[in-house]
């Protein structure tokens, strides 16, 4: 066991030496792989941030009923009574105009503007949760509420969230297609790199076979080379994404202050980072394995 580990360690150090022997070519190959991986990973990070933002939205679709500004307490009580008796309403919440103004004042950076208002411009409102969340049922219920007396406007709050979810679904499909195409490109890069190495070391491989070296022994350093090159490309992609998010968050900090929010892009989770490293190393190994399997069998000692 110790001899086996020592043999693999020597092969690994020899591969590091081969990478260092041609630093310019190695850096170019690693840079190309890193950029190729950074594109789908960047899209994935963007989708993950959008999905995280959408999870903070209300899970169930809601209908907001905004009453007319001249609606009195009797009108509010009448609408509340109708909502309690309506078979399509699961639950509702009343938000007075005073409460709405106080919420805006406390949750945004418009406190000075609100304090300077002579009168409250906001209407009373009801937030309604429907029993049936199907789009057609929600639209029918919203249209019914619009015909009620003293209801100035009925808004389906979840409509844009549903559109966002559809966009996220389309984005995930696009990331999958892009990842597949660029993974093929990474395998092709490794395949050609290993092919060139095999051709330049053809005589060395022939001599090794003459003295009894087996195909697994000859294949091992090429597989290590492909895996290390792929792993280095994954690390480069991770660094590109980290720097990009850092720069974007610096720009978002000023924009968030203007809108009174604290929105920041999140980097890859630890498990996603580990998946990126393993996937990139596997792609490099697979490309090397294809190349060695294809070309090593063609080299036989004379």
Per the structure block, which two tokens stand in for 286?
A: 């697979």
HEC string for the chain = CHHHHHHHHHHHHHHHHHHHHCHHHHHHHHHHHHHHHHHHHHHHHHHHHHHHHHHCCCCCCEEEEEECCCCCHHHHHHHHHHHHHCCCEEEEEEECHHHHHHHHHHHCCCHHHHHCCCCCCCCCEEEEEECCCCHHHHHHHHHHHHCCCCEEEEEECCHHHHHHHHHHHHHHHHHHHHHHHHHHHHHHHHHHHHHHHHHHCHHHHHHHHHCCCCHHHHHHHHHHHHHHHHHHHHHHHHHHHHHHHHHHHHHHHHHHHHHCCCCCCCCCCHHHHHHHHHHHHHHHHHHHHHHHHHHHHHCCCC
Q: What is the pLDDT of residue 115?
A: 61
Q: What are the residue boundaries of the structural domains of the chain, listed by start?
A: 2-56+162-298, 62-157
Q: Which residues contact 153 (CB under 8 A, 6 or more apart)?
A: 65, 66, 146
Q: Which residues contact 109 (CB under 8 A, 6 or more apart)?
A: 257, 258, 259, 260
CA separation for the pair 291, 181 (Å, rounded): 19
CA separation for the pair 140, 147 (Å, rounded): 11
140 by Cβ neighbours in 10 Å (0-12 / 13-18 / 19+) ranks as middle
CA 50, 56, 62, 68 torsion: positive or negative?
Answer: negative
Q: What is the pLDDT of residue 86?
A: 92
CA separation for the pair 102, 153 (Å, rounded): 21
Measured from the Cβ of residue 193, the count of other Cβ atoms closer than 10 Å reads 21
Per the structure block, which two tokens stand in for 302?
A: 């004379």
Q: Tell me the residue length of the chain.
A: 302
Q: What is the pLDDT of residue 190?
A: 83
Q: What is the pLDDT of residue 212?
A: 67
Per-residue confidence in pLDDT tens, the chain, 302 aa: 665 566 656 666 666 666 666 777 778 888 888 888 888 888 888 888 777 766 555 556 788 889 888 888 898 899 999 999 999 998 899 988 888 777 766 665 555 655 656 677 778 899 898 888 766 788 888 899 999 998 988 888 665 666 766 777 888 888 888 888 888 888 888 888 878 877 777 776 667 667 766 767 777 888 888 888 889 899 999 999 999 888 888 877 766 665 556 667 788 888 989 999 999 999 888 988 888 887 776 666 55
CA separation for the pair 138, 93 (Å, rounded): 17
Q: What is the pLDDT of residue 167?
A: 77
Per the structure block, which two tokens stand in for 152?
A: 């100035």
Q: What is the pLDDT of residue 168?
A: 75
Q: What is the pLDDT of residue 240?
A: 93
Topology of domain 62-157 in CATH is Alpha-Beta Plaits (3.30.70)
Strand partners, 94: 126
- Residue 15's nearest CA partner among 5, 4, 24, 26 is 26
CA separation for the pair 194, 230 (Å, rounded): 12
Q: What is the pLDDT of residue 182?
A: 84
Q: What is the pLDDT of residue 258?
A: 59
Q: What is the pLDDT of residue 32?
A: 86
């Amino acid at each position: 066991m110790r001899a086996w580990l020592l043999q693999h360690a020597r092969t690994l150090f020899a591969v590091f030496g081969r990478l260092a022997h041609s630093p310019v070519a190695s850096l170019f190959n690693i840079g190309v792989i890193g950029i190729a991986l950074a594109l789908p990973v960047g899209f994935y990070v963007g989708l993950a941030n959008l999905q995280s933002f959408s999870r903070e939205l209300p899970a169930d679709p809601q209908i907001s009923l905004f009453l007319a500004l001249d609606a009195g307490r009797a009108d509010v009580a009448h609408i509340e009574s109708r909502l309690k008796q309506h078979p399509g309403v699961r639950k509702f919440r009343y938000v007075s105009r005073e409460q709405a103004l106080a919420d805006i004042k406390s949750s945004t950076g418009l406190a000075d503007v609100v304090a300077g208002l002579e009168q409250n411009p906001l209407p009373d409102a009801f937030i309604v949760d429907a029993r049936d969340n199907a789009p057609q049922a929600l639209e029918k219920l919203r249209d019914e509420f619009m015909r009620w007396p003293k209801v100035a406007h009925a808004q389906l709050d979840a409509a844009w969230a549903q559109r966002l979810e559809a966009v996220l679904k389309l984005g995930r499909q696009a990331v999958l297609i892009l990842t597949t195409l660029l993974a093929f490109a990474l395998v092709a890069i490794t395949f050609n790199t290993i092919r060139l190495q095999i051709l330049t070391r053809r005589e060395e491989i022939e001599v090794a076979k003459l003295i009894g070296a087996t195909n697994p022994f000859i294949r091992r350093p090429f597989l290590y080379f492909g895996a290390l090159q792929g792993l280095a490309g994954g690390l480069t992609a991770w660094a590109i994404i980290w720097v990009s998010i850092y720069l974007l968050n610096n720009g978002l900090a000023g924009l968030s202050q203007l809108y009174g929010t604290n929105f920041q892009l999140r980097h890859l989770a630890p498990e996603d980072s580990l998946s990126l490293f393993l996937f990139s190393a596997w792609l490099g190994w697979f490309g090397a394995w294809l190349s060695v399997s294809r070309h090593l069998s063609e080299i036989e000692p004379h």
